[in-house]
Amino acid sequence: MSLEDFRHEPDTIGIRLDSQGWASVDELIRALERVARTAGASKRLRRLPVVTRDVILAVVAASDKQRFSLSLDGKRIRAAQGHSIEVDLGYAELEPPTVLYHGTAWSNWASISTAGLTPQSRHAVHLSTDADTATRVGARHGRPLVLVVDAARMHADGYTFSLSNNGVWLTKAVPAIYLAQLLQREHGSES
């Protein structure tokens, strides 16, 4: 159980997010404590330290990818992007950079080359502004493959983009015609 569980499966700890993905910090603390301290809780949950507002604030501040945001008054928390449930994060549509990058595993290329990028279990496809970040993301899934997205052409063709609070570009899908493989000699593959 972690804040990641809150982002992907809030119902497993009894949390209901509002339409923009916000939850009360106090409610989250109570829910985590309730679930971790119930009879039959997993070993992982029982090892969870006592969750306090300071612990939540520290997790939010220490997140290397700034996955979570606090409301201005500090009373609510939400994931910046990557929800597995439908939420309206309220991000404005923006004109994207000319190119964006998507990291995945080479094992996914066969399906991506025909179907394009789809959000899978998330609400949007995640794109980055640099190939290094995309490489790190792809490496989490296997041998990394970095795809170059012709974001300028997509945008000109009517596709919309938004930018999350932590700098991740979001779009509903990327058709295969807007994708190219990035030359990756360090992984023994070339496109």
For residue range 153-170, list pLDDT tens digits in order.
999 999 999 998 778 899
pLDDT in tens, 46-67: 777 788 888 888 888 776 666 7
Per-residue confidence (pLDDT) for residue 188, from 0 to 100: 41
| Residue 190 confidence (pLDDT) above 50 | no
For the ranges 25-34, 100-109, 143-152, the lowest mean pLDDT is seen at 25-34
The predicted pLDDT at position 184 comes to 55
Query: Mean per-residue pLDDT for 135-162?
Result: 94
Domains of the chain listed by start with CATH number:
3-79 (1.10.10.970), 100-187 (3.20.170.30)
**30 versus 87: which is more confidently predicted?**
30
> How far is residue 127 from each of residues 96, 109, 169, 191, measured CA to CA in Å?
10, 16, 5, 20
Residue 105 has pLDDT above 50, yes or no: yes
Percentage of the chain beyond pLDDT 90 is 37
Cα dist from 174 to 25, 112, 178, whole Å: 35, 9, 7
State the pLDDT at residue 30: 86
Q: Is the pLDDT of residue 4 over 60?
A: no
CA distances from 34 to 28, 30, 77 (A): 10, 6, 18
Q: So what's the pLDDT on residue 11?
A: 72
CA distance linking residue 19 with residue 14, whole number of Å: 16
Is pLDDT above 70 for 7?
no
Judged against a pLDDT cut of 70, whether residue 173 lies above it is answered with yes
